[in-house]
Structure 1
Amino acid sequence: MPGTPRAVAKFLSVLSSWLPSLRTRFVLLVAGLFVALSVVMIVVASYLDLHDEEQRAVSDARAIGITVSRLAVPHLTNHHYLILEQELESIAAGGLVAVAQVMDPARAVTIDSDPETSYFDDIETHPLIQLVMETGEEQTRQTPDLIEIAIPVHDMAKGDLLGVSLVSVERKQTDGMLFAIWSRNMVIAGVLLLFCIPVTFHFADNFLRPIKALTQTAHKVSEGSFDAPFPVERTDEIGVLARAYRDMVGRIRDNMAKIHELAFIDPVTGLANREHFRQHFTNSILNENGQPNRLSVLFIDLDRFKRVNDSYGHDHGDALLKEVAKRLETLMVSKGLSSDRSGQAVGPMNQAANPELSSLVARLGGDEFAIIVPARNPVTNIYALTEDLVQCVEQPLEINGLTMTVGASIGVSTYPDDGEDYTAILKNADIAMYAAKRTGGNRASFYNEIERNSWSRDRIRLEAELKNALLRDEIAIVFQPKVNCETTQVVGAEVLARWNHPERGMIAPGGFIDVAEESGLINRLGDRVLELACQQGRIWLDEGMRMPLAVNVSIRQLEKPGFDRRVLDILEHTGFPADQLQLEVTETVAMADPDRVAAVTKPLLDAGITFAIDDFGTGYSSLAILQRLPFNTFKIDRSFVWGIGEDQHSDSIVQTILAMAESLNYEVVAEGVETEEQRDFLRNNGCSTAQGFLFARPMPAAHFDAWLERHASWQPGGAAFQKPYFAA
């Protein structure tokens, strides 16, 4: 029937949901197969038994017919019909035979078993008797009620045909025979089924026992017990499965260990990483009664580490970090504050060991380390610990045969005094560390102490206000035109951020960039400035004016993963062409980690974005590094431009930069041009582009448009702007 397989599958699915036990399914399967086989057996056996019964009835009737035919031989020979009639009547009287007849064809006499008739009566010849007379062969006919057999009667001596005997035997009713047969077979099947079920349960238990053991082991593994035993000693398929499962769990255990190491262990020093540090702090802030534990976080930044990296390379820098990490751990052990690499089983300062309050040394990244210390008495013990840490780090280090020295600026904040959560505590420790650096470094500073001075209060308030400014969209941008020194054409503009403070008015970047850098808000700020710049650039393109834009990028933006993807997403969202965007990176940032800068900027270069080195001349660039970096523009720092014509040293530096740019095929932009003399000097020495107050101050987009209109015919030094340049 159409749809039958689907209906059966659905039925089996429902049945499986009702019978979740494999043992129950196995028993029911065997029982179901047994029942099905029993039904088939009963049907087949009943058919065969019925057939045998019918054959037996025919055989019995034939035996009676043969007996009658032999009995009739002497009587037909001697014509003793009366005696034969009496014998036939006695045979029929037994109830087994319904009719018995003998026909003598010689005299056309029929003798039967019916007492009501006589051989003198004219009895119609039975068709079977007539057929035997014609063929001389035995004939049998079965009707629903009778079995009729006609047998020729022969003279024993001569073999002549003396006559024909006919026997009619009543057939047993089929319904009665079937009932009897079925009853017998069902009783047999029932007895076998009763024997089969307990045997099946027994074999099911034995068969499924190893599977059950394997399942229990799997549950233990799922709960995290990777050392649970497997029944691997078996040689059957279950043993093969157990060994395969054991090997798989072993690989999972090894992979979990590797994943844990990658997720929570710093690959350079082997210390806990930032995420491990965060989780350890979070798990330690409350005791078993839900009360806060006092914890101090020591934020350590190495002084002068950048010089080691720049001078000797990252291999020496990594070796130095390993040595510093070893010193920090050794000191913590000597203070009774030892912590293993998993952050377990340590004791608080001057206290008995307490697993809930454990110290932990971690590397957060770069040259930044951090330590969690239980702070039962921070005024005395934490002060002493920070002094020991400073002295520990500042001792000379032997790195690959070289003697090096670094210092440690340490910021300390304490939970819950200085913050309510991990983010606040770490941020405040970072603030305290920067305060230590501002006072010369190689010392410790406590957040609760720097918070008392007005500078700290202002900085904290400014950080909070900057967060709100980003939420309330108070960040604006201004544009300062970049002008061709030879033709005075506007060849682009630099985008600068402004904070439209509701109380202080418009704040220049110098008033909030440092706060954004230290607090981590620089990423959101940088993304917002880039988005606003690209939106305005797209508006100018739609108005028929191509205006290449330059946007500053900080080191923290470059360090944050996914920077290139965010830039490309902003370009796609705003529709601003990538080849019209230039990103400016300061020389200090570019030289700090040139390999990383090159890796981060490659996808952006491939998209068509150009890069410029900002504040060029203030750092320590080398030609070898410059050739590896993806920049094509120098921006001469304003401090050198301001000295043109007044300081021979500045003139020489600018000329050197311009000559080097020409040899490297770099474009040059001079910042801070304020006088005609500066402009002429730059033009005469090959500087292609300048920007500064001589041309225009930074201004909003609307003022920038008006400035272009008003100064389209301005001719400083006899040159003129070319209005057609702005056509798309």
Structure 2
Amino acid sequence: MSKIVELLPSWLPSLRTRFVLLVAGLFVALSLVMIMVASYLDLRDEEQRVVSDARAIVATVSRLAVPHLSNHHYLILEQELESIAASGVVELAQVLDPARALTVDSDPETSYFDEQDMHPLVKLAYETGVEQIRQDQDRVEIALPVRDMKNDSLLGVAMVSMQRPSIDGMLVSIWARNLVITLVLLVFCVPVTFHFATNFVRPIKALTETAHTVSAGNFNAPFPVERTDEIGVLARAYREMVGTIRNNLAKIHELAFEDPVTKLPNRECFRQHFTNHMIGPGGKPNRMSVLFIDLDRFKRINDSFGHDHGDALLCEIAARLCGLLNPSSCSCGNTEGTGPIVQNVLERPSAVPPQVARLGGDEFAVIVPASGRASAVDQLAEQLVQCVEQPVEINGLTMAVGASIGVATYPDDGEDYTAILKHADIAMYAAKRTGGNRACFYSEIEDEFRGQERVTLEVELKQALVRDEFRIEFQPKVDCETMKVVGAEVLVRWQHPQRGLLAPGSFIDVAEESDLITRLGDTVLEMACRQGRRWLDDGLEVPLAVNVSIRQLEKPGFTQHVLNILRTTRFPAELLQLEVTETVAMADPESVSAATEPLLAAGITFAIDDFGTGYSSLAHLQRLPFNTFKIDRSFVCGLGSDQHSRSIVKTIIAMAKSLKYEVVAEGVETVEQKEFLTGQGCTTAQGFLFAKPMPPEIFAGWMKAFSDPVRHHPGAQGNRRGRTEHAA
């Protein structure tokens, strides 16, 4: 039975059909119950009717028998009884006359002269004087005393025996009658039920069709909410549920594919856009370029003005990029058409719509078709740079950032999205290395900047920091007048297990890009202070100059970290000088001042490294806590023949004197350079004219020998030149 119930839905898919069959089934079941109840009641009525008929007949016989028994007219009585039995209703009718002890009956074959046994029921009625009745399945027998109404005397007993009708026959008759009635009612009921079922199911069907429409993705399908019955309540509840689902899906889509700050497509949406347009008609790859955009100097804006201003700046840059390319490119998904700039740059229409996305932080990316001229994307990249570098005013503050852009083209520079984005990222870092605010193509950068080597080198740098593979060397600084060693600059070297001793130029750029420069800088500073302490313990006092990167200055707790190193190594603060490049010092003078003031108070001095290569402001120089200018080697090397370099060096030295700064000249390699610097008032010099960078165990011996009065003058070494080394 349970299996039949489970199979019924598959056999009867229509709700209307089920409803009609349910009503019809209930009607039939009720009809059967009604027939059974009616049959029982009719059968009882039929039985009562037979008894009532028997009573009526026996009462008639009793009235007829009174005068005949009183006058002893037995023959007439016998004829009347035979007449009653002849009707076929009565099986037997008889009257007992106790006075004469004879019985008159309706049977023609017997006579009242025949001696007959008294019927038990008659005998009982005579003895008790009350009506007696006996019933069985075949007949009904009733015995009624016959009384004289005048004197109420008992004259005799009348008895009637009637045959009971067959129960089966009665039931068949009753069932046939009720079944006909049921069929008539059923024929009328089914169409009416079908009509009402159709009207009842119609709104449910409409609601079902709406549900199918919603499940197909159309969440704006109308619902029959105007109804006030339960279906209307269900429709309204379903509409609210669909509205909640629609809002949740929109929120999920926003979280999955939209940047929360700029509302641009995010990294995942950008990846899907690229992947969906990789293959064009005919299975050929669509040529498209990815422009990886990183904002220059954005971190300083965040640190100086707060993240709210930084987010507002990002939104402004995003709006500019969208306006430059195409307003519709600011949404995730396929877009049609291109903006005016793209139409001018890219000569023919492409199956790849442009898209702008924010990948995270201050990084944006652009996809454009690359089916036009080779210089078209280059022109677009330049326009993007110009678009970004325009000043932005936010809450009354004017801000400006630059854009370093790396460009990689599919399929020339990679076979998939991961390779293209990685190569565009590498090209972007190449643009940053050359000063930023420009675009660089992956296909044009040198092999040494390619990704695989950079990734490998970054991993090796991390391992080198763990394995203590870095070494420090010291390049002496010499007083130009007395020719005495007045200090040394600390330079880092990497003792690579396979490639040997590496100069900073081989790995510093990668360290800065990967943020390993902070760990490396801290390591070099601690190594230098420990070595300076050893020399002090040996009776040798050497002031040391150590380079500091911008990332170290920006790192929270930098000042306290330097003081902790001095405290741990017990190296005197007055013997330590920290060198900061001019570009770093001028980029954010306020932050540099805030980071250096506690160190100055502790006795540490500061020098501006590579002076003359940046854009120093006299107003900033006056406020910055520096003690020393270091003239960049690019000016020193041209002192022999370049009048322009001579003029710059004279100006730097004169400026230093007016500001009461010390001057250190880097890269001094010839006696002529040294003499010119001395003549202009340069106090200190360093370079190959005096010595190359040396490990600590050699530097101490060299310093003692150099300080010997019988030493050879450096000028005797001739115009010895060598390739200068970059500081860490």
TM range (shorter): 0.5 to 0.7
Contact (CA 8 Å) 1:415, 1:425: kept in 2 or not?
yes
- Paired with 1:585 and 1:16, the residues of 2 have a C-alpha distance of 74
Task: Give the drift of 1:585.
Answer: 10
User: Cα–Cα, structure 1 residues 19 and 390, in superposed 2: closer, same or farther, change >3 Å?
Assistant: same
1:415 aligned partner? 410
1:149 aligned partner? 142
Contact (CA 8 Å) 1:328, 1:389: kept in 2 or not?
yes
1:361 aligned partner? 356
* 1:470-506 superposed Cα distances (whole Å, 9 cap, x missing partner): xxxx98996569xxxxxxxxxxxxxxxx9999x8799
Contact (CA 8 Å) 2:293, 2:428: kept in 1 or not?
yes
1:45 aligned partner? 38
- Equivalent positions of 1:323-342 (< 5 A) are 323-333=316-326, 339-342=329-332
User: Cα–Cα, structure 1 residues 660 and 277, in superposed 2: closer, same or farther, change >3 Å?
Assistant: farther
Question: For 2:207, which of 167, 190, 214 is the aligned residue?
Answer: 214
Question: For 2:336, which of 327, 338, 345 is the aligned residue?
Answer: 345
Contact (CA 8 Å) 1:433, 1:445: kept in 2 or not?
yes
- 2:307 partner letter: H
Task: Give the drift of 1:280.
Answer: 1.7
Contact (CA 8 Å) 2:521, 2:549: kept in 1 or not?
no
- 1:43 partner letter: M
Determine helix, strand or coil for the equivalent of 1:322. helix
- Paired with 1:77 and 1:403, the residues of 2 have a C-alpha distance of 145
* 1:337-392 superposed Cα distances (whole Å, 9 cap, x missing partner): 86343452233645699694211111111111111111111512111111111122
1:63 aligned partner? 56
2:198 aligned partner? 205
* 1:218-239 superposed Cα distances (whole Å, 9 cap, x missing partner): 1111222111111111111111
- Paired with 2:428 and 2:236, the residues of 1 have a C-alpha distance of 55
User: Cα–Cα, structure 1 residues 319 and 83, in superposed 2: closer, same or farther, change >3 Å?
Assistant: closer
- Paired with 1:616 and 1:174, the residues of 2 have a C-alpha distance of 123
- 1:204 partner letter: A
- Paired with 1:438 and 1:57, the residues of 2 have a C-alpha distance of 123
Determine helix, strand or coil for the equivalent of 1:385. helix
Task: Give the drift of 1:440.
Answer: 1.8
Task: Give the drift of 1:456.
Answer: 3.9
Task: Give the drift of 1:170.
Answer: 0.7
2:380 aligned partner? 385
Task: Give the drift of 1:251.
Answer: 3.1
Task: Give the drift of 1:616.
Answer: 11
Determine helix, strand or coil for the equivalent of 1:140. strand
Identify the range of structure 1 (13-22 vs 67-76) with the bigger mean alpha-carbon deviation: 13-22
Determine helix, strand or coil for the equivalent of 1:256. helix
2:292 aligned partner? 299
- Paired with 2:151 and 2:424, the residues of 1 have a C-alpha distance of 138
- Paired with 2:24 and 2:350, the residues of 1 have a C-alpha distance of 59
Task: Give the drift of 1:694.
Answer: 9.8
Contact (CA 8 Å) 1:98, 1:168: kept in 2 or not?
yes
Question: For 2:422, which of 413, 418, 427 is the aligned residue?
Answer: 427
Question: For 1:649, which of 569, 577, 580 is the aligned residue?
Answer: 577
Identify the range of structure 1 (398-407 vs 99-108) with the bigger mean alpha-carbon deviation: 398-407
User: Cα–Cα, structure 1 residues 623 and 374, in superposed 2: closer, same or farther, change >3 Å?
Assistant: closer
Contact (CA 8 Å) 2:266, 2:357: kept in 1 or not?
yes
Task: Show structure 2 runs of 5+ residues with no match.
Answer: 470-493, 524-545, 580-594, 604-694, 698-728
Task: Give the drift of 1:649.
Answer: 3.0
- Equivalent positions of 1:591-602 (< 5 A) are none
Task: Give the drift of 1:208.
Answer: 1.2
Question: For 2:438, which of 439, 443, 453 is the aligned residue?
Answer: 443
Question: For 1:107, which of 100, 110, 113 is the aligned residue?
Answer: 100
User: Cα–Cα, structure 1 residues 354 and 38, in superposed 2: closer, same or farther, change >3 Å?
Assistant: farther
2:452 aligned partner? 460
Task: Give the drift of 1:250.
Answer: 2.5
- Paired with 1:57 and 1:647, the residues of 2 have a C-alpha distance of 139
Task: Give the drift of 1:271.
Answer: 2.1
- 2:431 partner letter: A
Contact (CA 8 Å) 1:349, 1:376: kept in 2 or not?
no
Whether 2:182 is the aligned partner of 1:189: answer yes
User: Cα–Cα, structure 1 residues 313 and 90, in superposed 2: closer, same or farther, change >3 Å?
Assistant: closer
User: Cα–Cα, structure 1 residues 190 and 585, in superposed 2: closer, same or farther, change >3 Å?
Assistant: farther
Contact (CA 8 Å) 1:300, 1:408: kept in 2 or not?
yes
- Equivalent positions of 1:271-670 (< 5 A) are 271-333=264-326, 339-342=329-332, 344-347=335-338, 349-350=343-344, 356-450=351-445, 453-456=446-449, 459-460=451-452, 463=455, 618-619=549-550, 626=557, 636=565, 649=577
* 1:422-448 superposed Cα distances (whole Å, 9 cap, x missing partner): 111111111111111112211111112
- 1:208 partner letter: V
User: Cα–Cα, structure 1 residues 177 and 400, in superposed 2: closer, same or farther, change >3 Å?
Assistant: same
User: Cα–Cα, structure 1 residues 440 and 112, in superposed 2: closer, same or farther, change >3 Å?
Assistant: same
Task: Show structure 1 runs of 5+ residues with no match.
Answer: 1-6, 482-497, 523-552, 556-582, 589-614, 662-692, 696-728
- Paired with 1:154 and 1:384, the residues of 2 have a C-alpha distance of 139
- Paired with 1:256 and 1:187, the residues of 2 have a C-alpha distance of 61
Q: CA RMSD in A?
A: 4.4
Contact (CA 8 Å) 1:499, 1:507: kept in 2 or not?
yes
User: Cα–Cα, structure 1 residues 86 and 476, in superposed 2: closer, same or farther, change >3 Å?
Assistant: farther
TM norm structure 1: 0.65
Contact (CA 8 Å) 2:290, 2:424: kept in 1 or not?
yes
User: Cα–Cα, structure 1 residues 634 and 251, in superposed 2: closer, same or farther, change >3 Å?
Assistant: farther
- 1:225 partner letter: N
Contact (CA 8 Å) 1:587, 1:619: kept in 2 or not?
no
- 1:345 partner letter: E
Determine helix, strand or coil for the equivalent of 1:298. strand
Contact (CA 8 Å) 2:264, 2:330: kept in 1 or not?
no
* 1:193-244 superposed Cα distances (whole Å, 9 cap, x missing partner): 2322222222111111111111111111122211111111111111122122
Contact (CA 8 Å) 2:389, 2:403: kept in 1 or not?
yes
Contact (CA 8 Å) 1:345, 1:353: kept in 2 or not?
no
User: Cα–Cα, structure 1 residues 650 and 72, in superposed 2: closer, same or farther, change >3 Å?
Assistant: closer
2:125 aligned partner? 132
1:725 aligned partner? none
Contact (CA 8 Å) 2:521, 2:548: kept in 1 or not?
no
Contact (CA 8 Å) 2:293, 2:404: kept in 1 or not?
yes
- Paired with 1:499 and 1:49, the residues of 2 have a C-alpha distance of 118
User: Cα–Cα, structure 1 residues 160 and 176, in superposed 2: closer, same or farther, change >3 Å?
Assistant: same
TM norm structure 2: 0.65
Contact (CA 8 Å) 2:521, 2:552: kept in 1 or not?
no
Whether 2:67 is the aligned partner of 1:74: answer yes
Determine helix, strand or coil for the equivalent of 1:649. strand
1:22 aligned partner? 15
- 1:58 partner letter: V
Contact (CA 8 Å) 2:348, 2:371: kept in 1 or not?
no
- Paired with 2:500 and 2:45, the residues of 1 have a C-alpha distance of 116
- 1:152 partner letter: P
- Paired with 1:507 and 1:59, the residues of 2 have a C-alpha distance of 133
The count of residues paired between Structure 1 and Structure 2 equals 540
User: Cα–Cα, structure 1 residues 509 and 437, in superposed 2: closer, same or farther, change >3 Å?
Assistant: closer
- Paired with 1:319 and 1:240, the residues of 2 have a C-alpha distance of 46
Determine helix, strand or coil for the equivalent of 2:111. coil
User: Cα–Cα, structure 1 residues 656 and 403, in superposed 2: closer, same or farther, change >3 Å?
Assistant: closer
Contact (CA 8 Å) 1:299, 1:426: kept in 2 or not?
yes
Identify the range of structure 1 (402-411 vs 283-292) with the bigger mean alpha-carbon deviation: 283-292
Contact (CA 8 Å) 2:288, 2:370: kept in 1 or not?
yes
- Paired with 1:278 and 1:268, the residues of 2 have a C-alpha distance of 19
